[in-house]
Amino acid sequence: MKVALIKYNAGNIQSVAYALNRMGIEPIITDSEEEIRASDKVIFPGVGEASTAMHYLKEKLLDRLIPSLNQPVLGICLGLQLMCRFSGENATDCLAIFPLDVRRFPPEGKVPQIGWNALSQLKNPLFKNIKEGEYVYFVHSYYAPVSEFTVATCEYLLPFSAALQRDNFYAVQFHPEKSGETGAKILKNFLEL
């Protein structure tokens, strides 16, 4: 199975690659359209700031490529946010795969949310063999609201989308690569889609 990790100027690619290595998969880390299109699965990881990341995606024409992919695509953390229509982080137009606007958590809470939090309302093959209330690891100041595309929720100051799905596009706000056994199962489920 060929797995492509989209290379752009947002961190975290290496930890996702190591998580896949532990599962016996050697991903290719690439920003090449040919290599990405030829892959069976595509992972769009990310840690960073929305406007800088979008600038890089546009420079490499990845902003056109990603929404046009037909194989299963998994966005992680900033990847999820960039797959939405707009981010409140520096008022950034994003990829619009999900017609949602990403917002900053309200200022009365401790932001960013850093740490473990429980998943609920799981409804997707991504969460096969995952129980309600299992914990995964988050680091984020912005969130996608709960919508018709939400396939898992979480609560931090307010309910938000822990995972989204539309057609062949999947996205998680948490870091499966840092979420122990639960995260490894979710990555495995994605690879088996």
Domains in the chain, ordered, with CATH?
3-191 (3.40.50.880)
DSSP string computed for 122-173: --SGGGTT--TT-EEEEEESEEPPP-TTEEEEEEESEEEEEEEEETTEEEES
Q: What confidence score (pLDDT) does residue 159 get?
A: 98
**Count of CB atoms situated within 10 Å of the CB of 123:** 12
Note the pLDDT tens digit of each residue in 11-35: 789 999 999 999 999 999 999 999 9
Q: Round the CA-based radius of gyration of the chain to a whole number and report it.
A: 15
- On whether the CB atoms of residues 3 and 28 are closer than 8 A, the answer is yes
Max Cα–Cα distance, the chain, nearest Å: 46
Q: What confidence score (pLDDT) does residue 178 get?
A: 96
Mean pLDDT, residues 66-89 taken together: 98
Q: How confident is the model at residue 78 (pLDDT cuts 50, 70, 90)?
A: very high
In the chain, the percentage of residues whose pLDDT exceeds 90 is: 94
Note the pLDDT tens digit of each residue in 147-176: 999 999 999 999 999 999 999 999 999 999
Mean pLDDT, residues 85-110 taken together: 96
Mean pLDDT, residues 74-86 taken together: 98
Q: How confident is the model at residue 108 (pLDDT cuts 50, 70, 90)?
A: confident
Q: For 75-118, what is the HEC assignment? A: EECHHHHHCEEEECCCCEECCCCEEEEEEECCCCCCCCEEEEEE
C-alpha–C-alpha distance, residues 131 and 11, integer Å = 29
Q: What confidence score (pLDDT) does residue 130 get?
A: 98
Q: What confidence score (pLDDT) does residue 9 get?
A: 78
- Ramachandran angles phi, psi of 13, nearest 5°: -60, -45
Q: What confidence score (pLDDT) does residue 104 get?
A: 97
Q: Sign of the C-alpha dihedral, residues 141, 135, 8, 98?
A: negative
Q: Nearest CA to 102 among 133, 64, 60, 145?
A: 145
Q: Hey, which residues are catalytic here?
A: 77, 175, 177
Q: Nearest CA to 53 among 74, 70, 22, 75?
A: 75
